[in-house]
Amino acid sequence: MNEISLNGRRYAYEDRGSGTPLLLLHGFPFSSESFWPQLESPPNGFRVIAPDHRGFGGSAFGEGPSTMEAMAEDALGLLDALKIPAAVVGGVSMGGYVALALARLD
């Protein structure tokens, strides 16, 4: 498990494979471990990045409520920290709502 500091708090993520970035956003109440099959054997030509949303898995809670927009901003912060300008995004359940919030950020 990798981690970065986002606004002074721990943000954990998995990063496997190489190629086109594929950001996978997990559902409630899970963590990036729900994408273990994809992380264990990334599809050819893809770099699979799966963060733990704030308050889940290895990531710390943030200030204020954990809204879909806040989690989307975290995911965007991760992509920025990894110097990834664009990614294919997939979300399951709550992660789908985070993906939609991410699309509204730009």
Find out whether 105 and 78 touch, Cβ atoms under 8 Å: no
What is the pTM assigned to this prediction?
A: 0.95
C-alpha span between 81 and 90 (Å, rounded): 19
Paired tokens of 28: 């409630």
What's the CA gap between 22 and 88, in Å, rounded? Answer: 5
pLDDT digits (tens, 9 = 90+) for 27-45: 999 999 999 999 999 999 9
| The residue to which tokens 């995004």 are assigned | 89
pLDDT per position as a tens digit, 54-75: 999 999 998 889 999 999 999 9
Q: What are the helix and strand counts (H, E) for the chain?
A: 3, 5
In angstroms, rounded to a whole number, what is the distance separating the alpha carbons of residues 47 and 68?
Answer: 24
Whether 73 contacts 47, CB under 8 Å: no
